[in-house]
Amino acid sequence: MILALVFMSKPNKVLYFIRLITEPILSPFKKIQQKLIPNVPVDFSPFFALVTLNIVEKLIYSIL
């Protein structure tokens, strides 16, 4: 996550809010990544989440 690269010397409400919103979506993908490809220094969970959400969106549109 790009925001993780930003050094903050004090608590930031915006970053806290973004993490609060995204963590429930990203945490399952982080767990899957750790099981499938452990010890990788790059977090691919945002990519996996976006791909999955895109697939779900297309499935919903095809049903409707």
> pLDDT tens digit string along 14-63?
888 988 999 999 999 999 999 999 989 999 999 999 999 999 999 999 99
Query: Would you say 25 and 45 are in contact if contact means Cβ atoms under 8 Å apart?
Result: no
Give the pLDDT confidence score for residue 59 in this predicted structure: 97
In angstroms, the CA 25 to CA 4 distance is 17
CB 49 within 8 A of CB 25: yes
Tokens 């990544």 sit at which residue? 33
Q: What is the pTM of this model?
A: 0.71
Domain edges within the chain: 2-63
pLDDT at position 11 is: 75
How far is it, in rounded angstroms, from Cα 22 to Cα 4?
A: 13
The sign of the CA dihedral 26, 14, 39, 42 is positive
